[in-house]
């Protein structure tokens, strides 16, 4: 009985603590953040394509005499937003995959809509499944939201008389036409994404080099603020090089950028090696005058042979070898298997998306909303990208404020009573405006999303009373906002530290694999390259998850942040060893690291092991690596 009472008290204390934290939300701080503007980014090509897709799909339906399904066709516009600055091969796979997913989910929505509770459940399942897949496979924004939105809108259209077959055909046509529009910019600039990614990698690497010079020239210690700046710049450079390699190797002409990007990566690794030399006292390695082709063992003369067949074969082999050796995107299967592990960020975000979508949709259904899917889709929107709790709360504030402002814009449009070509042009302009402001301030973007969505919903459902649409929009927005905040505070709370340790474990496992490869002189084999890619990716993920933990649970994560920083330094040192001419053949080093590695891996990530104990093991590993001499 005593234990049961203690357990009951523990649960009550947990919930009381969560409600108390929710009641202490700093509305002034979140309001300031919600009304701030982010730095300008290059968005006009995407805005142009999105506006063109919206107007083209509506105009096509209008001209061909299918005005009654024009809104359903226009939902395909959202396909343009996916993979918008990726290389041709990757983008084609992304937009066609999203178009297929959107068509299938819309059809499912139309089939299950007559059974309300099943409709809401289907939206929640779609939100969770696609959030997990899109986040794991690094598809990027806008994530699962638009597919869930179209699934709900298709269900609403079905309740207004549209058949599932009509939904399948119209949404499918719109989605695949929009997919083609999404590829248009590659016609006049086929290598633009690769060029921009490489340029960003150059800039980030330059910043890293400058930060390292400050530390080395000033003889500063690892405890100095400048060293923290160096760690941040190194992470930024790693992210940029990772993005550049994935963009380049996703393209069709890898060799065009391989030498330049290999030079950037060698420069990064050379200066990373300089950091290693700085803490170990070893000499600075040199990787000058090594071309990408030489590095992968392809004869330069064969690449430029007069024989077209030999030249094609050599380029094909070189391209495939560069794809294998580049520290770019790991294999999809390995990413999925890692994301399925306990305490993964992908699982947490998917769980939150499922619960938030289900709760918001269910409450909207109980309250009698005529557009239940709005509340469900808004919850998906606000939860499917993940991030810190504060960033998602700010986005929720922006959604509410933007919706209120957008209703005013909708009232103006209703007063103007736009029809035909005027409506088609205005819809395209609004969609373009949405994309221009999406990254700068989501609240401003929502001011244009709201009237556009209301107009399309009105047409898709064969008309509607304006007052009902406005009230439903307000009600569903507030329902979604409320349950998003509840979900953020109650789902996954106190999981940040175990999650942080789980991602740190991924780094430790990666370090172990690379050290074993170095010991066996296997770091240049395809399997060894994949191990390095996974370590590289694990370092990027660990840094990201650590920043979330530090923001969401600062007190609990305080000791573990220092542990993660030390582990990150060690991970980059081990990666540098794989390039270092003296250390890359350190056959006995892996054996020396065995004991502290085993101690770290022996403890479960959700155990009560103090951060200091883990940090001591990491420090011992680092000391072994730094003290090793050839």
Q: How far is CA 136 from CA 115, 333, 452, 559, in A?
A: 32, 10, 31, 28
Q: What is the C-alpha separation between 204 and 198, in angstroms, rounded?
A: 10
More confident residue, 148 or 244: 148
Q: What percent of the chain has pLDDT over 90?
A: 24
- Residue range 343-368: mean pLDDT, rounded: 93
pLDDT in tens, 257-267: 777 877 887 78
If pLDDT is split at 50, 70 and 90, which confidence band does 33 have?
Answer: confident
Range 453-479 average pLDDT: 73
Burial class, 374, CB count within 10 angstroms (exposed 0-12 / middle 13-18 / buried 19+)? buried
Whether the Cβ atoms of residue 427 and residue 74 lie closer than 8 Å to each other? yes
Give the model's confidence band at 98: pLDDT under 50 very low, under 70 low, under 90 confident, else very high: very high
Distance, in Å, from the CA atom of 384 to the CA atom of 351, rounded to the nearest integer, reads 9
pLDDT at 243 over 50: yes
Q: Identify the weakest region by mean pLDDT among 114-118, 172-176, 443-447, 612-616.
A: 612-616
Q: Is the pLDDT of residue 356 over 50?
A: yes
Q: Give dist(CA 459, CA 75) in Å, integer.
A: 12
What is the band of 175 on the pLDDT scale with cuts at 50, 70, 90?
very high
| Mean pLDDT (whole number) for 467-492 | 86
The answer to whether 402 touches 442, Cβ cutoff 8 Å, is yes
CA distance 280 to 377: 53
Above 90 in pLDDT, residue 28? no
Q: Where are the domains of the chain?
A: 41-188+338-490, 196-251+255-294, 494-627
Q: Could you read off the pLDDT of 123-153 as tens digits, one per residue?
A: 999 999 999 999 998 888 888 999 999 999 9
Predicted pLDDT of residue 6 = 44
Burial-class residue 219 by CB neighbours within 10 Å (0-12, 13-18, 19+). exposed
Apex 88 CA angle, 328 and 71, nearest 5: 120
Average pLDDT along the chain: 79
* CA contacts within 13 A on the Cβ side of 539: 29
- Tens digit of pLDDT for each residue in 294-330? 333 344 444 444 555 554 554 443 443 333 334 566 7
Q: Is the pLDDT of residue 457 over 80?
A: no
Placement of tokens 């590695």 in the chain: 597
What does the pLDDT average to over 65-76?
A: 85
C-alpha 162/C-alpha 156 separation (Å) is 9
Backbone φ and ψ for 593, nearest 5 degrees, come out as -85, -5
**What's the pTM?**
0.81
587 or 33, higher pLDDT: 33
Q: Are 380 and 127 in contact (CB under 8 A)?
A: yes
Could you report the per-residue pLDDT of 216-237, keeping only the tens digit for each? 777 766 667 777 787 778 778 8
Q: Which residues contact 440 (CB under 8 A, 6 or more apart)?
A: 37, 38, 39, 40, 41
Residue 13 pLDDT: 47
- State residue 297's pLDDT score: 39
Mean pLDDT, range 559-579, rounded to an integer: 77
The 8 Å CB, 24+ separation contacts for 585-590 are: 585/518, 585/521, 585/630, 586/518, 586/519, 586/628, 586/630, 587/518, 587/519, 587/520, 587/521, 588/519, 589/515, 589/518, 589/519, 589/624, 589/625, 589/628, 590/512, 590/515, 590/516, 590/518, 590/519
Interval 15-42 mean pLDDT: 66
CA-based end-to-end distance of the chain: 63
* pLDDT in the model for residue 607: 66
CB 61 within 8 A of CB 70: yes
The pLDDT, as a whole number, for residue 587 is 63
Contacts 24+ apart (CB under 8 A), 579-583: 579/266, 579/269, 579/270, 579/273, 579/285, 579/287, 580/273, 580/276, 580/282, 580/285, 581/285, 581/286, 582/282, 582/283, 582/285, 582/630, 583/276, 583/282, 583/518, 583/628, 583/630
d(CA 609, CA 599): 11
DSSP secondary structure code for residue 40 in this structure:
P
Pull the structure tokens for residue 421.
């070509």
pLDDT given for residue 85 in this prediction? 86
- Residue 108 pLDDT: 96
Task: Report the range out of 181-185, 291-295, 305-309, 608-612 with the highest average pLDDT.
Answer: 181-185
- For 514, phi then psi, to 5°, come to -70, -40
Distance CA 365, CA 362 (A): 5
Query: Which among 485, 498, 490, 513 is positioned nearest to 597, based on CA atoms?
Result: 513
Mean pLDDT lowest for which of 308-317, 367-376, 422-431, 551-560? Answer: 308-317
> Which run of H or of E encompasses 599?
helix 589-601
Q: Does 16 have pLDDT greater than 60? A: no
Alpha-carbon separation of residue 499 from 502, 505, 509, 531, 603 (angstroms): 5, 10, 15, 22, 14
Could you give the angle at which helices 225-250 and 192-217 cross, rounded to 10 degrees?
A: 160
Cβ atoms within 10 A of the Cβ of 467, count?
A: 8
Closest CA to 530 of 517, 545, 544, 543: 517
């Amino acid at each position: 009985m005593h234990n049961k009472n203690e357990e009951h008290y523990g649960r009550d204390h947990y919930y009381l603590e969560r409600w108390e934290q929710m009641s202490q939300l700093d509305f002034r701080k979140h309001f300031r953040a919600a009304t701030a503007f982010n730095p300008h980014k290059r968005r006009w090509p995407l805005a142009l394509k999105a506006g063109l897709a919206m107007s083209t799909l509506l105009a096509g339906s209008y001209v061909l005499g299918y005005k009654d399904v024009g809104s359903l066709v226009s939902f395909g516009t959202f396909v343009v937003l996916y993979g918008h600055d990726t290389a041709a091969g990757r983008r084609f796979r992304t937009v066609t995959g999203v178009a297929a997913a959107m068509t299938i989910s819309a059809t499912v929505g139309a089939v299950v809509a007559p059974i309300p509770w099943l409709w809401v459940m289907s939206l929640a399942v779609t939100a969770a499944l696609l959030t997990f897949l899109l986040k794991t496979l690094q598809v990027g924004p806008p994530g699962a939201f638009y597919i869930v939105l179209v699934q709900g809108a298709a269900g609403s259209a079905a309740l207004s008389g549209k058949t599932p077959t009509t939904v399948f055909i119209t949404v499918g046509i719109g989605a695949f036409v929009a997919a083609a529009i999404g590829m248009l910019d590659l016609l006049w600039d086929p290598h633009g994404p690769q060029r921009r990614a490489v340029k960003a990698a150059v800039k980030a690497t330059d910043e890293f080099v400058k930060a390292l010079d400050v530390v080395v020239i000033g003889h500063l210690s690892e405890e100095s603020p400048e060293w923290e700046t160096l760690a941040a710049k190194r992470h930024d450079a790693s992210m940029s090089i990772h993005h550049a390699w994935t963009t380049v190797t996703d393209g069709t002409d890898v060799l065009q950028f391989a030498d330049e990007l290999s030079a950037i990566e060698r420069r990064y690794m050379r200066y990373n090696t300089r950091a290693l030399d700085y803490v170990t006292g070893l000499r600075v390695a040199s990787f000058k005058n090594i071309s990408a082709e030489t590095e992968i063992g392809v004869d330069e003369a064969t690449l430029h042979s007069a024989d077209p067949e030999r030249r094609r074969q050599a380029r094909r082999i070189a391209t495939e070898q560069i794809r294998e050796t580049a520290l770019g995107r790991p294999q999809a299967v390995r990413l999925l298997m890692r994301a399925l592990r306990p305490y993964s960020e992908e699982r947490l975000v998917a769980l939150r998306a499922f619960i938030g979508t289900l709760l918001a949709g269910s409450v909207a259904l109980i309250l009698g909303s005529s557009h239940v899917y709005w509340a469900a889709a808004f919850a998906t929107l606000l939860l499917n990208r993940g991030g810190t709790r504060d960033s998602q709360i700010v986005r929720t504030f922006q959604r509410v404020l933007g919706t209120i402002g957008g209703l005013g814009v909708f009232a103006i449009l209703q007063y103007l009573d736009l029809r035909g070509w005027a409506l088609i042009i205005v819809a395209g302009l609004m969609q373009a405006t949405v994309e221009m402001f999406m990254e700068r301030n989501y609240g401003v973007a929502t001011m244009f999303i709201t009237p556009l969505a209301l107009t399309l919903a009105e047409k898709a459902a064969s008309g509607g009373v304006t007052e009902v649409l406005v009230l439903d929009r307000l009600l569903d927005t507030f329902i979604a906002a409320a349950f998003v905040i509840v979900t953020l505070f109650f789902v996954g709370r106190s999981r940040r530290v175990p999650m942080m340790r789980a991602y740190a474990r991924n780094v430790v496992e990666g370090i172990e694999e690379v050290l074993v490869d170095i010991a066996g002189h296997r770091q240049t084999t395809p399997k060894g390259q994949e191990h390095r890619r996974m370590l590289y990716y694990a370092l990027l993920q660990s840094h990201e998850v650590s920043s979330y933990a530090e923001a969401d649970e600062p007190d609990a994560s305080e000791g573990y942040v220092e542990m993660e920083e030390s582990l990150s330094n060690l991970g980059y040192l081990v990666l540098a060893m794989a390039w270092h001419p003296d250390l890359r053949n350190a056959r006995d080093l892996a054996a020396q690291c065995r004991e502290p590695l085993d101690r770290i891996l022996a403890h479960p990530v959700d155990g009560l092991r103090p951060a200091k104990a883990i940090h001591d093991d990491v420090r011992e590993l680092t000391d072994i690596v730094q003290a090793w001499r050839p």
